[in-house]
Amino acid sequence: MSAETINTTELGDKIVKVIKTIYDPEIPVDVYELGLIYDVFVNEDHEVKILMTLTTPNCPVAESLPQEVEDKVKSIKMVKDAEVEITFDPPWSQDLMSEEAKLELGML
């Protein structure tokens, strides 16, 4: 495994850790455990693209939540740039939540 691969993996872990500090204001669970993050791409130049969704298209934080994810990821030292793309395909459902999130919300 090359140093580059390790760096990208390590960076991916850091990105996830930062994303886990961002909470949906209406639900006491972070956006990662809620299943709002569909994918995180990191290229060799340490540019990050995050594919995420929201619980509903007219979510009250539709503007601020993706911006918060982008800003926090950009604040990671190794990240050169970050972009968040919002998608509603597939639409978010409670099935995307982690066991931890379901437990936290009393759904298990």
pLDDT 10s digit of each residue in the chain, 108 long? 555 565 788 899 999 999 999 998 888 899 999 999 999 999 989 999 999 999 988 888 888 999 999 999 999 999 999 999 999 999 999 999 999 999 989 998
CA distance 38 to 46: 19
What local confidence, expressed as pLDDT, does residue 58 receive? 87
What is the CB-side half-sphere exposure of residue 30 using CA atoms within 13 A? 13
Rounded to two decimals, the pTM is 0.89
- Tell me which residue has tokens 């190794």: 78
Q: Where are the beta strands (DSSP E) in the chain?
A: 37-42, 47-52, 81-86
For the chain, give every domain's residue range.
3-91
Looking at domain 3-91, which CATH architecture does it have? 2-Layer Sandwich (3.30)
Structure tokens at 69: 């994810």
What local confidence, expressed as pLDDT, does residue 2 receive? 58
> What is the per-residue burial (b if ≥16 Cβ within 10 Å, else e) of 67-94?
ebbbebbeebeebeebebebeeeeebee
